[in-house]
């Protein structure tokens, strides 16, 4: 089945204690498709009251197969440059394919800028390639769906291999997520130019490396604040120049200050 999503890990869920109210888990992709798929994740729920869940999503595109009280059976979520919100209600389930930067060009005919800040039903008219993938996934457990997705995506990789630009984007985002190097350090590490790095990320995600670093750090801000760290301590741990920088960054992305966010966590806990 994989493993449960831990409220204390980097996941971007602004109210991670909500995860206890429904079942949410990760499944690792097969190594043969790991350059396309970052993670499979799955959620199922049956709720008496709706949850308004706000998320600083990973800098990635996600394809989802959905059932129950959901907006559409097949959904594509582009890269968001702000926190986005979804209401979870009634009963339902989601199986998701979270893509690495190179994955969009392999599994779709879409470009990142056309789907930025968008959550769209996947139809034949929108994109026949990803629609065929999602519509072929079987009913069954998340593990069975992940195994089927591995096989289908491996076939799609045979038809459309990852480009050099896609591989560079994958490597850069992985490096930023691991140790947060500067753009100059990234260029030296991968023996390329800063301009090539900028182009690779914009071609695959629609954003540059500085934005990716900022967004991943904001996910860590959420992780720390929701674990009872103060904004001052979080700013120091995550390398912000001062607390004001963290406050401004957080407010721009989430639409509230860290203090208001902490208050909302306390309200949720009763």
pLDDT in tens, 3-33: 887 767 777 788 777 776 777 899 999 999 9
Phi, psi of 163 (to 5 degrees): -80, 165
Q: Please state, in angstroms and as integers, the Cα–Cα distance from residue 57 to each residue in 31, 141, 146, following that order.
A: 23, 24, 21
Q: Rounded to the nearest 5 degrees, what angle is found at the Cα of 200, between the Cα atoms of 26 and 55? A: 35
Q: Rounded to the nearest 5 degrees, what angle is found at the Cα of 211, between the Cα atoms of 208 and 216? A: 125
Q: Please state, in angstroms and as integers, the Cα–Cα distance from residue 94 to each residue in 7, 44, 60, 140, following that order.
A: 18, 6, 17, 12
Class of 164-269 per CATH?
mainly alpha
pLDDT given at position 69? 86
Q: What is the pTM of this model?
A: 0.93
pLDDT given at position 270? 60
| pLDDT tops 80 at residue 225 | yes
1 confidence band (pLDDT: 50, 70, 90): low
- Both structure tokens of 94: 């989601």
239's CB contacts (< 8 A; 6+ apart) are 180, 217
263's CB contacts (< 8 A; 6+ apart) are none
């Amino acid at each position: 089945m994989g493993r449960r999503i831990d409220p204390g890990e980097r996941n971007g869920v602004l109210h991670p204690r909500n995860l206890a109210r429904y079942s949410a888990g990760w499944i690792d992709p097969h190594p043969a498709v790991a350059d396309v798929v970052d993670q499979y994740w799955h959620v199922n729920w049956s709720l008496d009251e709706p949850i308004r869940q706000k998320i600083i999503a990973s800098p990635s595109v996600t394809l989802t197969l959905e059932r129950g009280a959901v907006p559409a059976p097949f959904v594509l979520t582009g890269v968001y440059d702000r926190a986005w919100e979804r209401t979870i209600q009634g009963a339902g389930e989601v199986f998701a394919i979270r893509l690495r930067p190179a994955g969009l060009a392999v599994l779709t005919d879409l470009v990142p800028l056309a789907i930025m800040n968008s959550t769209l039903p996947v139809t034949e008219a929108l994109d026949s390639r990803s629609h065929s993938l999602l519509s072929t996934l079987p009913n069954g457990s998340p593990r069975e769906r992940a195994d089927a997705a591995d096989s289908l995506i491996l076939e799609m990789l045979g038809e459309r291999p990852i480009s050099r630009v896609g591989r560079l984007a994958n490597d850069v985002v992985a490096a930023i997520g691991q140790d947060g190097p500067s753009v100059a350090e990234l260029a030296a590490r991968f023996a390329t130019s800063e301009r090539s790095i900028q182009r690779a990320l914009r071609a695959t995600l629609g954003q540059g490396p500085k934005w990716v670093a900022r967004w991943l750090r904001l996910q860590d801000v959420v992780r720390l604040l929701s674990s009872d760290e103060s904004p001052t301590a979080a700013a120091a741990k995550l390398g912000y120049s001062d607390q004001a920088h963290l406050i401004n960054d957080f407010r721009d992305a989430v639409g509230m200050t860290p203090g208001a966010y902490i208050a909302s966590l306390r309200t949720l806990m009763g």
